[in-house]
C-alpha cells in the first residue's frame, strides 16, 4: 500500500479489513486531522459496490456523536488500482472485540455506559424517517472511546426500513450469532438491531461468542447466572427472544427496563402504550407473556385459548353475565331450551353460527399472532339481534414506530369497566396488514 493516498492522506496504519473493503488510519494533511479511509477492494463486485454506496449515502444524512461523520468520497489509486474511497471521522478507542480478545472484562458500570450509548445511537437511527437499520451490530463494530462512551461503526450493511420491496430485499447481511432468524429471511426491523445488541452484550459479559449459546432450535439460551446480575440478565433474555414481537420494540423500552421504570416489564407495542391505565387482567397478561413464538401447534392449551377469546354460544346469548357467575350455566341452559321452543330452534342456531364464525377468525391469531398492547380510542354498542348487543372497541397500537388501528367486538360484561385510554392486550398478524384482535 502506498504511504500516501491521493497525494494528501498519509497512511498511519491498517485498521481492519473485510470481504469487500479495507480500512486504514491516515492523516489528512489539508485538514490536519486523523481520518479513517475505507476503500472498496473488490470494485468489480456489483453487490459490494451497492453496499459501499449505500453506506456513504446513509452516513451523509446522519449527525450523531455515536456515528462517525463522513467527510468526503473520492476515487483514487489503491495498491495500483483505481478504487472508491470513503473518508470519515476516526473514532479513537478500542473495539469490544479487541477488549474480548485481550481478556479484558468490563466492570458493570462500564458495561452499562456502553449499552446506554448504543441504545442512544439506535434510538436516533430508528427514529429517523424512514428508520435506519444497522443490521451488523457486533463487538468488532462497537468502539469504546477513552471516556467510556461507545460509537457504532461499519455501516456497510445499513438499510432503510421502508425500502421498496424489490430493492435490497434479497440481500442477507449480518454476522452469524448476532443476527436473528428474521434477518436471514430479509425481514429485519428495529427489533433485529436490538437482538444484535443483546448478543453483543452477552459476548462481552461471558467472553464467549453467542454461537456457543445457540440451542438446536436456533435460540440463544442466556445462562441462569451471569456476572452482570439483574436486571440486565432479564433484559438480555427478552432482547434475545426468537420472535421479534416478543422483544423490546425500541431502544427507549430497553432503557426503561434497565432502570426499573414501571410498565416496561411486559410492554410490547411502543412507548405510547406504557403510561396508560390497563384493561388487561393479570391472567391474560401472564398467559400471553408465556405464549411461545408462532407458528404454534394447536394443542389442547391453544384450543382452550381460542375458546376463551372467541367465547361460547351461551356467552353470546347472555353477553352481560360473566360465564363464572353463580347460576350462569343453569340460567343459560334454561334460556336455550325456552328460546329453542319459541323460535323452533332458530335462535340457538343463530348464536351457534356467530360463535363458529368468531372461532374461525380467532384461530389464525392464536396460531401465529404476535402479542402487543393497544390503547382504546372509543367504544359503542353493536346490536346482534334478539335484544342483545356486544361492545365494539376501537383502538390503536404502535409497531416499530408506526401506528396501526383496529377494532373488535367484546361482550359487555368484560367492557363495562373499560374506559377510553385504557390499555388492552392484542394479537396481530403483520402479513395481514396488521389485522388484530383483543385478547380477553
Nearest to 207 by CA among 109, 105, 137: 105
CA 112 – CA 260 distance, rounded (Å):
14
DSSP 43: T
C-alpha cell read off for 56: 456513504
C-alpha cell read off for 82: 483505481
Respond yes or no on whether the N-terminal peptide bond of residue 295 is cis (omega within 30° of 0). Answer: yes
Taking residue 12's Cβ as centre, other Cβ atoms within 10 Å add up to 14
C-alpha cell read off for 12: 498511519
CA 311 – CA 324 distance, rounded (Å):
13
* Contact between residue 15 and residue 37 where contact means Cβ atoms under 8 Å apart: no
Q: Where are the alpha helices (DSSP H) in 102-231?
A: 108-126, 181-184, 190-206
Nearest to 319 by CA among 406, 393, 418, 386: 386
**Does 431 qualify as catalytic in the annotation?**
no
DSSP code string of 140-169: GGEEEPTTS-EEE---TT-EETT--TTSST
C-alpha cell read off for 123: 434510538
CA 155 – CA 310 distance, rounded (Å):
47
Q: Which of 136, 154, 193, 318 is catalytic?
A: 136
Reduced to 3 states, what is the DSSP secondary structure of residue 58?
helix
Nearest to 424 by CA among 392, 401, 390: 392
C-alpha cell read off for 86: 470513503
Which residues, in sequence order, are bridge partners of residue 55? none
Q: Which residues contact residue 57 at a Cβ distance below 8 angstroms, ignoring those fewer than 6 apart?
A: none
Nearest to 373 by CA among 437, 424, 419: 424
**Active-site residue list:** 136
Amino acid at each position: 500500500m502506498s504511504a500516501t493516498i491521493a497525494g494528501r492522506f498519509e497512511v498511519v496504519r491498517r485498521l481492519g479489513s473485510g470481504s469487500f473493503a479495507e480500512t486504514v488510519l491516515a492523516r489528512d494533511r489539508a485538514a490536519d486531522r486523523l481520518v479513517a479511509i475505507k476503500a472498496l477492494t473488490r470494485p468489480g463486485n456489483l453487490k459490494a459496490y451497492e453496499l459501499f454506496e449505500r453506506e456513504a449515502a446513509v452516513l451523509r444524512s446522519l449527525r450523531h456523536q455515536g456515528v462517525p461523520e463522513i467527510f468526503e468520497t473520492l476515487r483514487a489509486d489503491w495498491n495500483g488500482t483505481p478504487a472508491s474511497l470513503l473518508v470519515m471521522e476516526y473514532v479513537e478507542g478500542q473495539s469490544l472485540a479487541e477488549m474480548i480478545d485481550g481478556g479484558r472484562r468490563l466492570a458493570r458500570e462500564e458495561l452499562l455506559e456502553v449499552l446506554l450509548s448504543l441504545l442512544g445511537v439506535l434510538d436516533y437511527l430508528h427514529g429517523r424517517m424512514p428508520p435506519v437499520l444497522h443490521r451488523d451490530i457486533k463487538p468488532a463494530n462497537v468502539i469504546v472511546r477513552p471516556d467510556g462512551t461507545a460509537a457504532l461503526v461499519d455501516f456497510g450493511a445499513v438499510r432503510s426500513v421502508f425500502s421498496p420491496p424489490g430493492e435490497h430485499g434479497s440481500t442477507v447481511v449480518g454476522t452469524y450469532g448476532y443476527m436473528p432468524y428474521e434477518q436471514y429471511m430479509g425481514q429485519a426491523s428495529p427489533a433485529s438491531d436490538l437482538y444484535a445488541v443483546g448478543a453483543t452484550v452477552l459476548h462481552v459479559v461471558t467472553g464467549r461468542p453467542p454461537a456457543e449459546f445457540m440451542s438446536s432450535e436456533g435460540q440463544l439460551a442466556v445462562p441462569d447466572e451471569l456476572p452482570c446480575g439483574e436486571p440486565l440478565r432479564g433484559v438480555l433474555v427478552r432482547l434475545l427472544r426468537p420472535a421479534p414481537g416478543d422483544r423490546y420494540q425500541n431502544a427507549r423500552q430497553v432503557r426503561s427496563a434497565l432502570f426499573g421504570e414501571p410498565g416496561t416489564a411486559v410492554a410490547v407495542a411502543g412507548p405510547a402504550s406504557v403510561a396508560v391505565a390497563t384493561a388487561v387482567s393479570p391472567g391474560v397478561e401472564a398467559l400471553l407473556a408465556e405464549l411461545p413464538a408462532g407458528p404454534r401447534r394447536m394443542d389442547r392449551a391453544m384450543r382452550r385459548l381460542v375458546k376463551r377469546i372467541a367465547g361460547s354460544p351461551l356467552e353470546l346469548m347472555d353477553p352481560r353475565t360473566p360465564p363464572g357467575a353463580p347460576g350462569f350455566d343453569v340460567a343459560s341452559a334454561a334460556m336455550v331450551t325456552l328460546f329453542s321452543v319459541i323460535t323452533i330452534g332458530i335462535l340457538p342456531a343463530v348464536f351457534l353460527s356467530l360463535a363458529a364464525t368468531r372461532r374461525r377468525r380467532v384461530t389464525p391469531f392464536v396460531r401465529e399472532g404476535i402479542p402487543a398492547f393497544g390503547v382504546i380510542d372509543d367504544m359503542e354498542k353493536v346490536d346482534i339481534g334478539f335484544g342483545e348487543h356486544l361492545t365494539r372497541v376501537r383502538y390503536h397500537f404502535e409497531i416499530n414506530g408506526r401506528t396501526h388501528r383496529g377494532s373488535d367486538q367484546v361482550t359487555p360484561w368484560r367492557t363495562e369497566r373499560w374506559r377510553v385510554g385504557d390499555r388492552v392486550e392484542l394479537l396481530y398478524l403483520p402479513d395481514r396488514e396488521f389485522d388484530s384482535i383483543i385478547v380477553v
